[in-house]
Chain A
């Protein structure tokens, strides 16, 4: 069993829809949770960072962590074609260098 599970998709939705992307994990020691966005043929870039449980909002993006269920989510409101990318979740057990990555979900927003 992988430490971090993420559905690879692709997930295709119409422009303007609300998108929900998810990851599950098995290591209860994870405390730091990140979402990175990766455009085709580019390196990943940090989108959202959350420590422990709860919600965090940044513009059209909301990150949610449910440690009791070992489940994290990224919501995108009013999705745009420019949001089409692969979204990778990453997490870490403590304040150190090493991130454990999900496989990434490919998201396609249709105009």
Chain B
């Protein structure tokens, strides 16, 4: 079991460029999440998905888009990158609703710098 994998590990983008952060889980989890982590700010939820074909906004969705065509994959799209999107991005998954939604399994993160 690889768990949650994310690619790339690091990326530098120029202002206005676009990119997709990839996330895959092999645990057959229904719920998946995208967070960003800024220094001293904790984790902020960007988007989440409760199953294939179902996505919804979290706390900080502006400037991002997601899709979930399969149970395993949950890519995050950045359009028109801005310096404010410089952050560490984590993908996570959990089995389902209730208590199991609190046991979230995280990927290793993608460190993104926008200059």
The closest CB in chain A to the CB of B49 belongs to A97
Interface residues on A, range: 20 to 34
Kindly list chain B residues whose C-beta atoms are within 8 Å of the C-beta of A103.
40-42
**A43-B42 in contact (CB<8A):** no
CB atoms of A97 and B106 under 8 A apart:
no
Given contacts A42-B108, A43-B4, A8 and B102 within 8 Å (CB-CB)? no
Query: What total of chain B residues lie within 8 Å of the partner, measured CB to CB?
Result: 28
Q: Are B102 and A44 in contact, CB atoms less than 8 angstroms apart?
A: no
Q: Does B48 contact A (CB under 8 A)?
A: yes
Chain A 39-55 against B: per-residue CB contact (8 Å), 1 yes, 0 no?
00111111001010000
Q: Which residues of A line the B interface, CB within 8 A?
A: 4, 6, 8, 32, 34, 41-46, 49, 51, 88, 90, 92, 95-99, 101-104
Point out residues on B near A: beta carbons under 8 Å. Answer: 4, 31, 33, 40-45, 48, 50, 58-59, 90, 92, 94, 97-99, 101-109
